[in-house]
Amino acid sequence: MAKTKTAFFCQNCGAQYAKWVGQCTSCKQWNTVVEEIVQKEEKRNWKTETNPVKKAARPLKISEITNDKEIRLNSFDQEFNRVLGGGIVPGSLILLGGEPGIGKSTLLLQIALKLQHKVLYVSGEESQKQIKMRADRINPKSENCFILTETKTQHIFQQIAQLEPDLLIIDSIQTLHTDYIESAAGSISQIRECTAELIKFAKESNTPVILVGHITKDGTIAGPKILEHMVDTVLQFEGDRNYVYRILRSLKNRFGSTAELGIYEMQGTGLREVHNPSEVLISKNDEDLSGTAIAATVEGMRPLLIEIQALVSTAVYGTPQRSATGFNAKRLNMLLAVLEKRAGFKLAAKDVFLNITGGISVDDPAIDLAVVAAILSSNSDISIEKGLCFAAEVGLAGEVRPVQRVDQRILEAEKLGFSTIYVSKNNKIGLKNTAIEIKLVSKVEDVVSGLFG
């Protein structure tokens, strides 16, 4: 019998130690090092031992390597394809993370039911009947989706050898365990070893694998940080459970851009793709309300128009409150200081609350001017005229700075029926004969005089 060996691992970063230490020297976190049992034995391939040994790869000149376009697997989900960069790359490993109950399993089951290829959906958290109940609401007529409830990787690979699926979905990686490691499922060693086995399977068989990953209370994916380095793509599925809208972002993508965004609406029949999110993120309110402004932003290749709401009121306590939802609170403080210093507005003794509707978070600096307009509108209790939108950054000197891809923002505003857009005077605009009026401004004071006289 092989001798049992123990090792100490950091639960935060996965660093290994020979003995227990109070602080991890790698990530500097305290009390994260735990002891795990590691059983070393000869590992077999994910295939059976009867398969022929694969020949070692030989080096090639870079000029000899073909640059053919990779054929991607169409998921029949435009939002999912957009975030991945055009579809699922064969042999790739995709990690999908998100909060509990946000809809990760629903999204992947929906993709599995839509695909015209053979899909093996492996669940370690739900029974086959539970998955069947959800599948009946989404697409009960699918014939290409196979459900397996198993947590041991050796048994999963036996079923893969018989079924030979075109796509493998694992829900979730934290529930898997392998015989080669003695520690419990969900531990650092098990997650790392199970992922390594799946990567070997994906690369050798050219079969794409999608993993579901749990997240910690800090919002990071549970397990060792090396897990995110091992996979090809890391996706984040986010949103407020009090809202019906969900956002799919790419945090890492070896085969496409990480700036793309996918938006879904949670319904009783599954997740509905939102093809025109601007109409969703702007409230249909006929009344003229103060403290509301429309900003033209860009997420990846997609222009969006979002509604920004601000509330300025007299501070009840000694220290004024500054609260922002979906917007950087430090940038809000900076814009308030600019209005105080450069534009002469006395906001130091007032509470300021800012909210981006729809439950989304935006870090595009082009919404600065809309934030300023919403704050000043609420402060003076004068509503901004309907049909106005903004696309510009505000600098510390009170200047209105240009932003990238302003032509796309203008065209999106024109398509949604806006009559006027405020942009920086220094922007180079290539559009001609547009129906929307383009107002060029250079300072915040020009915007204030144009809006409120």
Which has more confidence, 246 or 353? Answer: 353
Task: Name the residue with higher pLDDT: 340 or 44.
Answer: 340
Residues 287 and 213 in one domain: no
Report, as an integer, the average pLDDT of 57-73.
Answer: 81
Report the predicted TM-score, pTM, of the whole model to 2 decimal places.
0.75
Q: What proportion of the chain, given as a percentage, has pLDDT over 90?
A: 43
- Asked if residue 242 and residue 161 are part of one domain, the reply reads yes
Question: Could you tell me if residue 215 is inside a domain?
Answer: yes
> How far is it, in rounded angstroms, from Cα 263 to Cα 278?
11
Token pair of 306 as six digits: 């979002």
- 354 with 299, same domain? yes
Share of the chain above pLDDT 70, in %: 93
Q: What is the pLDDT of residues 353-404, one digit of tens each?
A: 999 987 778 889 999 999 999 999 999 999 998 889 999 999 999 999 999 9
Q: Which one of 242, 260, 275 terminates a domain? A: 275
Do 185 and 284 fall into the same domain?
A: no
What is the widest separation between alpha-carbon atoms in the chain? 86
* Same domain assignment for residues 230 and 112: yes
Q: Which one has a higher pLDDT value, 4 or 162? A: 162
Q: What total number of domains does the chain contain?
A: 3
Query: 310 or 2, which is more confident?
Result: 310
In a domain, 235, yes or no: yes
Q: What residue numbers does the annotated binding site for ATP cover?
A: 98-105
Output DSSP code: residue 434: -
Is residue 414 packed enough to be buried (19+ CB in 10 Å), middle (13-18) or exposed (0-12)? middle
Give 64's pLDDT tier (boundaries 50, 70, 90). Answer: confident
Do residues 212 and 234 share a domain? Answer: yes
pLDDT of amino acid 4: 65
**Confidence band (pLDDT; 50, 70, 90) for 172?**
confident
In this structure, the answer to whether residues 312 and 443 fall within a common structural domain is yes
pLDDT of 14-63, one tens digit each?
788 888 899 988 888 888 888 877 655 555 555 653 344 445 668 888 88
Considering the domain architecture, whether residues 244 and 332 belong to the same structural domain is answered as no
Looking at residue 299, its pLDDT comes to: 83
In terms of Cα–Cα distance, which of 209, 145, 207 is closest to 176? Answer: 209
Out of 18-22, 111-115, 402-406, 449-453, least confident range: 449-453
Which residue spans within 289-403 are E strands per DSSP? 292-299, 302-314, 322-325, 350-356, 388-391, 393-394, 400-401
Q: State which residues form the domain around 181.
A: 73-275
Q: For residues 350 and 447, state if they share a domain.
A: yes
Identify the top-confidence range among 3-17, 36-50, 140-154, 275-289: 140-154
The structure tokens listed for 204 are 């050798």
User: What pLDDT does 111 receive?
Assistant: 93
Q: Is the domain of 23 the same as that of 96?
A: no
- Residue ranges at the known binding site: 98-105
**Is the same domain home to 235 and 331?**
no
Give a yes or no: residue 64 inside a domain: no
